[in-house]
């Protein structure tokens, strides 16, 4: 069987690896990547002569997919966890502790947000369970509309938006409740009498387990291991122009003909490639928008006076250009052991390209100035690296789950074609691993069926 995997990011490489596991050495696998490197939005660079991730740096540690994958690949020794420090929120011109016992910043009661929010907003949260609440099971809405109505706009700006900005490079106005917070939507569907009750029912029990994990030497280690063990032919620097259905085959222009195809491409590229072969799925994928971001990694003198926190999130409406600061040398013990300090400064939210359009020197200057503001420290970088991610993150807007269902339905009958990626069922690396595994399973089953029919 000859199989094409279009896209060499984490989803495409996991799909190729899973296909190799399922089909063995006889499978002829080809990974086609438009960039000149593999990894997609996961990229490990060098800062101060040491590896540092220039895209995502961590994954949700309570999901099993990534630790299990590291064990399979023989690189479990790379797994590291944070030091356990809490982040801060910059709001109203000063730093506040990030509220605890919230669901993506949505509070479960007034006490955790006292101090971060003004007295009127705290009183509104306290009073919320007594106010009439109307929810239609199965409904979807943007996160802002629900939370601002029940808890006030300041709750969104200072508690919810900072967290959503980190996950989606979006805001509560651009993110849908049902796709981003499915457990909360389910609690509302079950008849929760208030938003407070729904959040309280959704929060997991307190745990000392690490919330996040990372790789000691960066995601590049995982990308290399997947590529090596998938043992696929790799075509780099080549974009796929079109996908055509032929009798019993697929033509992937300009690369060649294949028995089966996995599309591990962003939503707009997937929509374009599906236009001829699955037009309904193409229309659904075309409705998923992307957000751009930029990252500045600052290498600082070891003795720079940074707070004893994992990072600083920035509330909406603050006069800063950065949206978040990861104090990497505080957050990760393996980075704290280095001779210099590392800080990641993030820019860009959906619908606002003003900061991501800045030049590299302007981004570094903005990162330095904003970090000085939120820390009160003198910031004099030894070096800086800028990484841009145009269209790097899908926006899970209201109706996203319906769009994904339409994509799935539009591929019915095309068992030798599968799609995977961060625009489907989760933007994080664990969700991508799960999505890619499902895509590989679909293609492996189709290949087995083709093989049995050819006997």
Please state the domain extents for the chain.
Answer: 2-39+219-289+396-454, 102-201
pLDDT value at residue 170:
87
Q: What percent of the chain has pLDDT over 90?
A: 92
Domain formed by 2-39+219-289+396-454, architecture = 3-Layer(bba) Sandwich (3.50)
Q: What percent of the chain has pLDDT over 70?
A: 100
Lowest mean pLDDT among 102-106, 206-210, 319-323: 206-210
**Does residue 140 register a pLDDT over 90?**
yes
Q: Quick check: do 2-39+219-289+396-454 and 102-201 share a fold?
A: no
- The mean predicted confidence, pLDDT, of the chain is 95
> Which contacts (CB < 8 Å, 24+ apart) does range 441-445 have?
441/18, 441/22, 442/415, 442/418, 443/3, 443/15, 443/19, 443/260, 443/262, 443/416, 443/418, 444/18, 444/19, 444/22, 444/23, 445/415
The sign of the CA dihedral 262, 222, 28, 440 is negative
**Does residue 449 register a pLDDT over 90?**
no
Tell me the three state secondary structure of residue 248: coil
Query: 102-201 adopts what CATH topology?
Result: protoporphyrinogen ix oxidase, domain 3 (1.10.3110)
**Does residue 455 register a pLDDT over 80?**
no
Reference 300, options 198, 384, 396, 393; nearest CA is 384
């Amino acid at each position: 069987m000859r199989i094409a995997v279009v896209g060499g990011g984490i989803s495409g490489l996991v799909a190729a690896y899973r296909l190799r596991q399922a089909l063995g050495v006889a499978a002829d696998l080809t990974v086609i990547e438009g960039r000149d490197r593999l990894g997609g939005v996961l990229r490990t660079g060098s800062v101060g002569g040491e590896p540092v991730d220039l895209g995502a740096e961590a994954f949700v540690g309570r999901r099993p997919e990534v630790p299990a994958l590291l064990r399979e690949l023989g690189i479990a020794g790379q797994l590291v966890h944070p030091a356990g420090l809490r982040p801060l929120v910059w709001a109203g011109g000063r730093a506040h502790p990030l509220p605890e016992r919230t669901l993506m910043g949505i509070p479960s009661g007034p006490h955790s947000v006292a101090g971060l929010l003004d007295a009127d907003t705290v009183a509104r949260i306290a009073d919320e369970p007594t106010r009439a609440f109307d929810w239609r099971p199965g409904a979807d809405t943007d996160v802002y509309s629900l939370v601002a109505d029940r808890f006030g706009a300041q709750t969104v700006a200072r508690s919810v938006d900072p967290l959503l900005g980190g996950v989606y490079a979006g805001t509560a106005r651009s993110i849908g409740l049902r796709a981003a917070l499915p457990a909360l939507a389910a609690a509302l569907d079950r008849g929760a009498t208030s938003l407070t009750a729904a959040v309280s029912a959704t929060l997991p029990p307190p745990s000392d387990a690490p919330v996040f994990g990372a790789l000691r030497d960066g995601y590049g280690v995982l990308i290399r291991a997947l590529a090596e063990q998938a043992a696929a032919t790799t075509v780099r620097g080549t974009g796929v122009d079109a996908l055509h259905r032929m009798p019993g085959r697929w033509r992937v222009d300009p690369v060649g003909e294949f028995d089966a195809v996995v599309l591990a491409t962003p939503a707009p590229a997937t929509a374009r490639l599906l236009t001829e072969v699955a037009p309904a799925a193409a229309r659904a994928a075309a409705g998923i928008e992307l957000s751009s971001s930029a990252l500045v990694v600052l290498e600082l003198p070891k003795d720079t006076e940074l707070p004893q926190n994992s990072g600083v999130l920035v509330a909406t409406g603050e006069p800063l250009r950065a949206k978040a600061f990861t104090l990497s040398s505080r957050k990760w013990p393996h980075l704290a052991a280095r001779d210099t300090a590392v800080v990641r400064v993030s820019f860009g939210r959906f619908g606002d390209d003003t900061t991501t359009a800045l030049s590299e020197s302007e981004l570094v200057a903005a990162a330095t100035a904003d970090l000085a503001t939120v820390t009160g420290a003198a910031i004099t970088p030894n070096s800086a690296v800028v990484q841009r991610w145009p269209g790097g993150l899908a926006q899970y807007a209201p109706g996203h789950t319906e769009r994904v269902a339409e994509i799935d339905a539009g591929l019915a009958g095309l068992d030798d074609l599968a799609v995977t990626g961060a625009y489907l069922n989760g933007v994080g690396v664990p969700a991508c691993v799960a999505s890619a595994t499902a895509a590989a399973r679909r293609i492996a089953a189709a290949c087995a069926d083709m093989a049995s029919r050819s006997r």
